[in-house]
């Protein structure tokens, strides 16, 4: 039996983690085996690399170094968590995956390198990607309220950075409409979850 791989993407503060938990609970109630995971992280080695990526000054790493660190973490995550769960027939819900790298580190000439590294070292794409779209000003305010102490390196990059990220995510959605669905993340969590469930239940053919 082959499982299903779902990824949730969007700017900081868009509510991905909340929606991932709600979706995992709903799918479990529907009788699905579910693995809820995140990036960077999701496996012991990947969690160690996460600390290098999300802590410290905004300019701690160059975009090229970040790309290599994220790819290393993702490789460990896929090997130890994601592929085994898919093989078991589970639904894997991942809070961020390669589209985050494409948006955060893949601007300009680096985009090609992101895709080349992904093909060489990861070789796995989501069956469905939900992109949570939110005004960057609202995202920055939300991110500041819920940030884990010390894990705010990307939030420190400010409004202009989030604005560019939003544009990058929407471009990814336009480029791959069969894989990506854009979710309005400006409402209340229950309303957003209803939109998420409408898309996911259709994909998985569950009621």
Which strand (E) or helix (H) includes residue 3?
A: none
Q: State the pLDDT at residue 1.
A: 55
Q: What is the extent of the structural domain holding 16? A: 4-204
Other Cβ atoms closer than 10 A to 177: 9
| Residues 126 and 7: beta-carbon distance below 8 Å | yes
Q: State the pLDDT at residue 44.
A: 96
- Annotate 54-67 with b (16+ C-beta within 10 A) or e (fewer): beeeeeebebeebb
Q: State the pLDDT at residue 63.
A: 87
Q: State the pLDDT at residue 157.
A: 67
Q: Cα 68 vs. chain centroid, distance in angstroms?
A: 17
Q: How many domains does the chain have?
A: 1
pTM of this prediction exceeds 0.85: yes
In order along the chain (207 residues), what is the average pLDDT of each group of 10 residues? Answer: 91 94 97 97 96 87 92 98 97 97 85 95 98 93 65 67 93 97 97 98 85
| Residues 18 and 140: beta-carbon distance below 8 Å | no
* Residue 29, domain CATH: 3.40.50.300
Q: State the pLDDT at residue 149.
A: 56
């Amino acid at each position: 039996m082959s499982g299903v791989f779902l990824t949730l993407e969007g700017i900081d503060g868009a509510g991905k983690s909340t929606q991932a938990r709600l979706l995992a609970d709903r799918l479990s109630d529907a009788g699905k085996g579910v693995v809820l995971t995140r990036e960077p992280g999701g496996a012991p080695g990947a969690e160690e690399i996460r600390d290098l990526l999300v802590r410290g000054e905004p300019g701690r790493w160059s975009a090229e170094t970040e790309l290599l660190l994220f790819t290393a973490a993702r490789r460990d995550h896929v090997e130890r968590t994601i592929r085994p769960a898919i093989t078991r027939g589970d639904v894997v819900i991942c809070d961020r995956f390669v589209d985050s790298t494409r948006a955060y580190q893949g601007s300009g000439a680096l985009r090609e390198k992101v895709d080349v590294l992904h093909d060489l070292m990861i070789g796995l794409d989501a069956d469905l990607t939900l992109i949570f779209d939110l005004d960057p000003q609202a995202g920055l305010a939300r991110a500041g309220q819920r940030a884990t102490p010390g894990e705010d390196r990307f939030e420190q990059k400010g409004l202009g950075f989030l604005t560019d990220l939003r544009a990058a995510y929407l471009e990814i959605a336009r480029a791959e409409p069969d894989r990506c669905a854009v979710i309005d993340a400006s409402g209340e969590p229950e309303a957003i979850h209803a939109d998420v469930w409408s898309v996911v239940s259709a994909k998985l053919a569950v009621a």
